[in-house]
Amino acid sequence: MRRVERRRVLSWAATLLVAFTLVGWAVTCAPPVGVQAAQSGAATQPGRAGQPKPVTIRFWNWWDGERKPWMDKVIEEFQKEYPWITVKSEIQGWTDVGGKIMSAFAAGVPPEVMMARRMDVFALADLDAIIPITDLVKRDNIDLSMFYPGEANAFWYDGELWTLPLPTVGLNDSFYMYNKELFEQAGLDPERPPQTWSAVLEANRKLTRRDGGGRITQLGFRAWPSQFIPFLYSNNGTFLSADLRRVTFNSPEGMEAADFLGQLVKMNNPAQQQDFLTRNEPDIGRAFINGKEATIFENISIMNVVLEHAKQTKRRLDWFGVGLMPYNEKNPKARSTGVSGLSYGWGYVIPKGLPKEKEEAAWLFVKFLTTDPRGSGYFMLMQGRPSPVRKFNEAPEFRKLNPVFDRLLMVLETEVPFPAIPVQKELVDLGVNSFWSVISGTVEPREAVARAAEQAQAVLDRYWQTRVKRR
């Protein structure tokens, strides 16, 4: 399935009905514990006396399309709070995101606030190009427990915190959506989706239908490479050792996860699953929306596609539900576990070496974006997607836009961050892409894992041999 690179959002028309309520909530909502002290005006800023000197900061970001007016609103509210700071929003293109980020720093002209993917944040930290925010968080008494565990923890690296998240780092392949109508037709309880591996296999048997020639006409659970890592963690497995020096996804827990995915592959039959997907255009959830695919594992961006389709077709919003990541019930230590930070995981970094007044202004803006209800609260509410901050998700408007919102919050509570390392993308790609041969039926699951682990260990060894130590 083609991954949805840009976060599809609810249209402005869809949110217009609640816009006045949303803006009012975002502006008047009391900040979470620890944030009130951080939102003081110029007179209380550490090291400042009298009227602050006007400061302009550039903000590189990828909040384009319908999200632009929402981010503009966030910036407007920030500038009301800190009138001596001017934020220049500079929206970037989607071609070679990582290249753009690294090139700006290599050229010595990065913006004062750079929106960056999780893997880029760690690479910049390794290059000693950005400042950690650990001491700033302590200085301003920010209580990191306001975030879900897999969110703020996703940006700890080498003993320091480098940024805070917006939007969520998680909700990528850590849950599945299912068609309640198809569940009911198959004799399955539409309010109790499968929670275990064996329940998934049984549900797949009931949900998958074939015609007289053996062609799949309705697919229950798709076998797909990106499912391996969440299945690994839902079997109490890990991808890397705690010291980040050894590959561990080839452990017994990893081999069991591979075997389970292999069972799903054989049930569906590789050629028959591929034939079904070719005929039913699965990109961005079409097969699921059209009632041909009973379940779908995807990232949170698919939610907005489904909600928008329901609005346009006047379909009832309760036709679908959300299931948590199935776990191996045969392993007493296993439980449903999502993995955050597998893909983009956006954060906001501050270059090293800025003048003190610009560094302070950049930090105030990053803090506002990620911890203030007028930032992370408003911006995510307008999209109908969960905020990384627990408190902000209490707004009742979320549930008016999204009937499964509380289930998504349950997923966020299960998530653990993927190991923090700059070569993350290479390692994840090796672990995931090895399963394309399993999906095609040409390689056995355990063999695929063993090969991928050997290649990943080589990448890991090279990284530690050549790592640039921070000064």
Average pLDDT over residues 234-256: 97
Alpha carbons 372 and 80: distance in angstroms, whole number: 13
Q: Is residue 45 very low, low, confident or very high in pLDDT (cuts 50, 70, 90)?
A: very low
Given a cut of 80, whether residue 260 has pLDDT beyond it is yes
Classify residue 415: in a domain, yes or no.
no
**What's the N-to-C CA distance of the chain in angstroms?**
42
CATH code, domain carrying 440: 3.40.190.10
Alpha carbons 261 and 201: distance in angstroms, whole number: 10
As a dihedral over the C-alpha atoms of residue 200, residue 201, residue 202, residue 206, rounded to 10 degrees, the angle is 100
Q: Is residue 73 very low, low, confident or very high in pLDDT (cuts 50, 70, 90)?
A: very high
Picking from 232, 225, 266, the residue whose alpha carbon sits closest to that of residue 337 is: 232
More confident residue, 113 or 466: 113
Same domain? 280 vs 189: yes
Same domain? 285 vs 350: no
Number of domains in the chain: 2
Number of H helices and E strands in the chain, helices first, is 21, 13
Question: What are the angstrom distances between the C-alpha of 195 and each of 177, 198, 231, 234?
Answer: 13, 9, 12, 11
DSSP state of 220: S
Classify residue 409: in a domain, yes or no.
no
Q: Provide, rounded to the nearest whole percent, the portion of the chain with pLDDT above 70.
A: 88
Classify residue 7: in a domain, yes or no.
no
Contacts of the segment 212-215: beta carbons below 8 A, 24+ positions apart: 214/272, 215/272, 215/275, 215/276
Classify residue 434: in a domain, yes or no.
yes
Same domain? 228 vs 326: yes
Structure tokens at 375: 């930032």
Alpha carbons 255 and 251: distance in angstroms, whole number: 6
Contacts of the segment 37-43: beta carbons below 8 A, 24+ positions apart: 37/140, 37/141, 38/140, 38/141, 38/142, 38/367, 38/371, 39/81, 39/368, 39/372, 41/81, 41/82, 42/82, 42/84
Same domain? 213 vs 101: no
Average pLDDT over residues 43-61: 73
Q: Residue 88, SS3? A: strand
Mean pLDDT score of the chain, rounded to an integer? Answer: 88
Domain ranges, residue 437: 177-337+420-466
Classify residue 414: in a domain, yes or no.
no
Cβ atoms of 417 and 154 closer than 8 Å: yes
**Residues 6+ away with beta carbon under 8 Å from 318:** 180, 403
Cβ atoms of 234 and 336 closer than 8 Å: yes
Q: Is residue 152 very low, low, confident or very high in pLDDT (cuts 50, 70, 90)?
A: confident
Same domain? 327 vs 436: yes
Which residue is associated with the tokens 């959300």? 322
